[in-house]
Amino acid sequence: MDRLVSLYERMKKLRESGVRMKDISEETDIASSVLSSLYSSVLPMYVNLLSNGEEKEKALDKSLQQVNNVSKRKLLGCLDALYEKVHAIEPRLINSKNNGRPFLDDIEKEAINYLPNAGVYTGLYLAYSSSSFSDGLKVEPYMIASITDGDTMPKVYSQNMSGDYYTGVGLFSPFQIGYLMFNEQKRLQLALKVVYLQLPIIEYPTFLKGIYLTHDYNRNPIARRIIFIRQGDEISLDEFAKLHTEVIPKEKLTEDQLSYYHYTCEPGDVIKSMMLVSPEKNVDDLKREKDLLKLL
Q: What average pLDDT is seen over the chain?
A: 84
pLDDT in the model for residue 217: 73
DSSP, collapsed to helix, strand or coil, labels residue 283 as: coil
pLDDT in the model for residue 26: 83
Q: Whole-model pTM?
A: 0.63
Angle ∠(48,50,56) on CA atoms, nearest 5: 130
Q: What CA–CA distance (Å, rounded) separates 29 from 40?
A: 19
> 209-238, pLDDT tens digit by residue?
999 998 877 778 899 999 999 999 999 999
pLDDT in the model for residue 267: 85
Which of these, 245, 192, 196, 181, lies nearest to 215 by C-alpha position? 192
In the chain, CATH 2.40.128 covers 117-295
In 73-184, where do the E strands start and end? Answer: 123-130, 136-144, 155-159, 165-172, 177-183
DSSP, collapsed to helix, strand or coil, labels residue 30 as: coil
277 Cβ contact list (under 8 Å, min separation 6): none
Contact 61, 91 (CB under 8 A): no
- Enter the DSSP assignment of 147: P
pLDDT in the model for residue 97: 55
pLDDT in the model for residue 235: 94
Architecture of domain 117-295: Beta Barrel (2.40)
Which of these, 86, 84, 113, 78, lies nearest to 23 by C-alpha position? 86
Contact 63, 45 (CB under 8 A): yes
pLDDT in the model for residue 92: 63
Tens digit of each residue's pLDDT, the chain (296 residues): 488 899 888 888 888 777 788 888 888 888 888 888 888 889 989 888 888 888 989 989 989 988 888 888 888 889 888 888 888 887 765 655 555 556 666 777 777 777 777 888 999 999 999 988 788 999 999 999 988 766 778 899 998 888 888 889 998 888 889 999 998 776 656 778 999 999 988 778 899 999 999 887 777 889 999 999 999 999 999 999 999 999 999 999 999 999 999 999 998 898 888 777 666 667 777 777 778 777 66
